[in-house]
Amino acid sequence: MRASKNVESQRSKAKKQKIKSDEIHISGAEGIYAGQEISTIAKQYIKRASEHTRGIPDRVVITIEKLQERPEMIKSLPVITLKSVSPLESGRFIRQVLKKIGISDDAIRVAFNLLKSKKTMRGASLLLAESGRRIEPDKERGVRVTRLGISKVAEKTLSGRLAKQGINNARVKEALVLASKVASCKQVMAELCISDNPDYTTGYIASKNLGYIRVPHIKNKGDRRGGRIFFLQKSFGIDEAVTYLEHKPVIINGIAECKGIFSSDEIIHNYNM
Ligand code: AMP
């Protein structure tokens, strides 16, 4: 599902041209479902598109496609939550972790600049971990991860484990499914996400070795900025990575541990990054 809205662009105002409009992203969602679930899911997606805190869309597009290949089955990333009370503390933690994973200072700087930009994208930016060069083919749209899902059994297990931590909600589950697919892409070293929802201030950082680390207070309430960054290992294999992320069907059929809340020091010193 894709929900968007047209706004008069600053560019066209500035040039006093005939008024053009720019499309802004309101919300999106995707999943892999059995045929008989489709009408229920489509209704849920329409409800979600029309109730988003980013605004009322004037266009909602739902695309339904039959899978043409068997999905790859993967395990979810383990889940942990950072103990943090402020955006300053959360930002510091993220920078430390990214450095430890091997992301350069330049790439970290580019990533934060993109996430602080007012212009939100539908998809993610791809950054080379060494140089910080942006390499997504379409810089307005970004790379949109689609064709991802979770089996019924795995979802039940996940709900039970997240409930013990008090975080059993659709937002965490959907983000974990996405982050697990992204981390299973061999070119991706790490992912950083800040929601563009002004009411949701918990972001995350994820990687194969680190798992999925929820980062509370990554931004202040009311802030509409956000986005996703995928840090890539090297410049070759980019097309392959984009094809995997956008097209390869992947289903979570096994659930790793949900470990609770840890301080920045505990995470940085105890994890093999
Ligand atoms: P959200 O966590 O849904 O608030 O999304 C935050 C940002 O992540 C959005 O503004 C998009 O830039 C990006 N994003 C959302 N969904 C996807 C996706 N399926 N694939 C890639 N990027 C996404």
Interval 245-262 mean pLDDT? 96
Q: Which residue has the tokens 């484990």?
A: 161
pLDDT-based confidence at residue 120 (cuts at 50, 70, 90): confident
Crossing angle of helices 152-164 and 170-183, in 10° steps, is 120
Q: Which residues contact 164 (CB under 8 A, 6 or more apart)?
A: 258
Condensed to tens digits (0 to 9), the pLDDT of residues 231-250 reads 999 866 999 999 999 999 99
Ligand 1 atom showing the smallest separation from residue 30 Cα = 19
| Separation of alpha carbons 97 and 62, rounded Å | 37
In the structure, which protein residues have their CB atom closer than 6 angstroms to any atom of ligand 1? Answer: 28, 30, 120-124, 142, 144-145, 178, 193, 195-197, 226-228
Mutational test site, ligand 1, from 228, 230, 231, 250, max ligand atoms within 8 Å of CB: 228
This prediction has a pTM of 0.93
**Which two tokens mark 257?**
């541990």
Q: At residue 13, does pLDDT exceed 70?
A: no
pLDDT-based confidence at residue 20 (cuts at 50, 70, 90): very low
Question: Could you report how far apart the first and last alpha carbons of the chain are, in Å?
Answer: 34
190 phi and psi angles, rounded to 5 deg: -165, 160
pLDDT of residue 21: 54
pLDDT of residue 181: 98
